C-alpha cells in the first residue's frame, strides 16, 4: 500500500471510543486492505488519562484538551465521541472542520440541533462530515438512504430508534410487568440511564428521526419539527389490550411526506403483529424505508453499544480513507430545503383509546355522543363483564380520524361524569 495512512484522532474514550480503538486494532490488516491505506489512530483525548480501558493508549498522542486534538496538525480525521448538543463536542467538530480535518461523529444531539450548520461548515472546508454512528449504529441506514436507495424518492420512513424504550416495552409484553418496574430493572442492568428522560420521553429517538428525515428528504435537520411523546404513560393494561386486538406497542419515529409537508413524530404506536417491525424486540433497532422504485425495505440491527457503534464509526473512516466522502446529507448544503412542516394535528389515522369508567348506565352513551359530535366513528369496543359502581376499563378502537378532532373529542370525554382518569390514546399505524 503506497497511500499514506489516514491519521485518526479520537475525542472521547467512553464505550464507543474504546470500541473504535479495538476495531481499528483487531481488524487492522483487513481494514488496510479494504481502505487501500492504513487507518492509524494517532491521538486521543478524554477526561482521565490513566484508566484501564482494555485497550492501550500508550502509543497515542494525548491531549488534555479535546479542542487541541481538533487542531492537531498531525491528525487527518477527528472522531468526536464526547456527546451533547453544544459545548465541547460542538467546538471540537467546528474547529476540526475549520482546521481542514474530516469529522466523524456519533453525536445525534449535536446533529439534530446543528446538523445543517455543520454540513455547511464541512462543505466550506471541503471536508467530510460523517455520522453513520449517530443513528442505529448496527444498521448502515445513513449510507442506505444517502447511497443505496438514492435512486428513490422516499415516501416515508419509520423505525424503532431507541433501544432502551424497545427493551422496556418488550419486557412489559413478555413478563407482564409495569413500566416503572421494568425501567428500574433496565437501570440496574445498565440499559437505561439514572435519569432516563432522554430515552423514555422520546428525545433520543427524535434526534435520530430528525437526522434520518433530513437525509431521506434532502432537507435541513429540523428537530423542532418533531412531535415528541414518550412511553411513560403506556401501562401494562394497554400492552395487554394491544395483544388482544392483534397489535404490539412500539415507540416509533415516523417521517412521512404528505401533501401538507413532512410529518415528523415520535410516539408509542400500536402496530399489527404481522408487521415486520412488531417483532423487533429488546435492544434491537429497525428502520423501514419506503421509496417509489424500491418499495418497502427493512433494516434491523443493534441500536447502540460498543461494537455496533464502533462498526459504524470505522465504516465512515474507511469511506474517508478511500476518498469517498459525500455531502453530509447527500446533497450540497446550499441545496438542503427548509422542509415544510406537517404538524401532528394534521395527522389522520386510527387509534386506540382506553377510558377508566365508573360502571353505571348512561356513561357510554355520553362517550359515544362526544365521538359522534366530532365525526369520529368507532371500530370496536371492549368492555369485560359488569362491576356496577366500580371503575372498569373501556377500550375502543377508532376509525381513521383527524388528530385535532380526536384531541377535542377526548378532552370533552375527559370532562364527562364517571370518567375517572384522563383518556389514554395510542395511535394505530398499519403502514398499509
Q: Point out which residues bind a second copy (CB under 8 A).
A: 19, 23, 26-27, 30-31, 33-36, 132, 137-140, 143-144, 147-153, 218, 274, 276, 279-280, 291-302, 307-308, 310-315, 317-319, 322, 324, 326, 330-332, 335
CA 235 to chain CA centroid, Å, is 22
Q: State which residue, 117 or 150, has the beta carbon closest to a second copy.
A: 150
- We find the least distance from the C-beta atom of residue 426 to a second copy, in angstroms, to be 24
> Is residue 208 exposed (0-12), middle (13-18) or buried (19+ Cβ within 10 Å)?
buried
Q: State which residue, 22 or 235, has the beta carbon closest to a second copy.
A: 22
Q: State which residue, 87 or 276, has the beta carbon closest to a second copy.
A: 276
- We find the least distance from the C-beta atom of residue 136 to a second copy, in angstroms, to be 10
Per-position b or e across 175-205, b if 16+ CB within 10 A of its CB: eebebeebbebbeeeebbeeebebbbbbbbb
208 is an active site residue: yes
Helix or strand run (H / E) with residue 120: helix 108-125
Q: State which residue, 88 or 149, has the beta carbon closest to a second copy.
A: 149
- Give dist(CA 50, CA 5) in Å, integer: 27
Contacts (Cβ under 8 Å, ≥6 apart) of 26: none
Q: State which residue, 54 or 389, has the beta carbon closest to a second copy.
A: 54
Helix or strand run (H / E) with residue 404: helix 403-414
Contacts (Cβ under 8 Å, ≥6 apart) of 269: 249, 250, 251, 252, 254, 426, 427, 428, 429
- We find the least distance from the C-beta atom of residue 369 to a second copy, in angstroms, to be 42
Alpha-carbon torsion angle 219, 223, 227, 233, nearest 10: 140
CB 229 within 8 A of CB 403: no
* Among 101, 143, 208, 250, the one annotated catalytic: 208
- Give dist(CA 27, CA 351) in Å, integer: 49
Query: Which residues does the annotation mark as catalytic?
Result: 208
Amino acid at each position: 500500500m503506497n497511500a499514506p495512512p489516514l491519521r485518526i484522532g479520537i475525542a472521547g474514550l467512553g464505550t464507543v471510543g474504546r470500541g473504535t480503538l479495538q476495531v481499528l486494532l483487531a481488524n487492522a490488516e483487513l481494514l488496510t486492505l479494504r481502505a487501500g491505506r492504513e487507518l492509524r489512530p494517532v491521538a486521543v483525548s478524554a477526561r482521565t488519562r490513566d484508566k484501564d480501558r482494555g485497550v492501550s493508549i500508550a502509543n497515542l498522542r494525548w491531549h488534555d484538551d479535546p479542542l487541541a486534538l481538533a487542531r492537531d496538525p498531525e491528525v487527518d480525521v477527528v472522531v468526536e465521541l464526547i456527546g451533547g448538543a453544544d459545548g465541547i463536542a460542538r467546538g471540537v467538530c467546528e474547529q476540526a472542520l475549520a482546521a481542514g480535518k474530516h469529522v466523524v461523529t456519533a453525536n445525534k444531539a449535536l446533529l439534530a440541533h446543528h446538523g445543517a450548520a455543520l454540513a455547511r461548515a464541512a462543505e466550506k472546508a471541503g471536508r467530510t462530515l460523517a455520522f453513520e454512528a449517530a443513528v442505529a449504529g448496527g444498521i448502515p441506514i445513513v449510507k442506505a438512504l444517502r447511497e443505496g436507495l438514492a435512486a428513490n424518492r422516499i415516501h416515508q420512513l419509520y423505525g424503532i430508534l431507541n433501544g432502551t424504550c424497545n427493551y422496556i416495552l418488550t419486557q412489559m409484553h413478555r413478563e407482564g410487568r409495569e413500566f416503572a418496574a421494568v425501567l428500574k430493572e433496565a437501570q440496574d442492568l445498565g440499559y437505561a440511564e439514572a435519569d432516563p428522560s432522554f430515552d423514555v420521553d422520546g428525545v433520543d429517538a427524535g434526534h435520530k428521526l430528525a437526522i434520518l428525515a433530513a437525509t431521506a428528504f434532502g432537507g435541513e435537520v429540523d428537530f423542532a419539527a418533531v412531535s415528541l411523546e414518550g412511553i411513560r404513560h403506556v401501562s401494562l393494561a394497554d400492552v395487554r389490550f394491544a395483544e388482544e386486538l392483534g397489535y404490539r406497542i412500539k415507540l416509533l419515529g415516523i417521517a412521512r411526506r404528505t401533501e401538507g409537508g413532512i410529518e415528523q413524530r415520535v410516539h408509542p404506536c400500536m402496530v399489527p403483529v404481522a408487521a415486520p417491525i412488531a417483532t423487533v424486540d429488546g435492544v434491537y433497532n429497525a428502520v423501514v424505508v419506503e421509496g417509489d422504485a424500491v418499495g418497502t425495505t427493512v433494516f434491523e440491527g443493534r441500536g447502540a453499544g460498543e461494537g455496533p457503534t464502533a462498526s459504524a464509526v470505522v465504516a465512515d473512516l474507511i469511506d474517508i480513507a478511500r476518498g469517498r466522502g459525500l455531502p453530509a446529507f447527500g446533497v450540497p448544503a446550499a441545496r438542503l430545503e427548509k422542509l415544510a412542516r406537517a404538524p401532528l394535528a394534521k395527522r389522520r389515522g386510527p387509534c386506540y383509546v382506553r377510558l377508566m369508567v365508573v360502571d353505571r348506565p348512561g356513561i357510554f352513551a355520553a362517550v359515544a355522543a362526544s365521538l359522534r359530535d366530532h365525526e369520529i366513528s368507532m371500530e370496536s369496543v371492549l368492555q369485560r363483564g359488569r362491576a356496577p359502581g366500580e371503575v372498569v376499563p373501556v377500550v375502543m378502537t377508532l376509525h381513521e380520524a383527524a388528530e385535532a378532532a380526536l384531541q377535542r373529542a377526548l378532552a370533552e370525554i375527559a370532562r364527562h361524569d364517571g370518567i375517572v382518569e384522563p383518556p389514554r390514546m395510542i395511535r394505530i399505524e398499519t403502514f398499509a
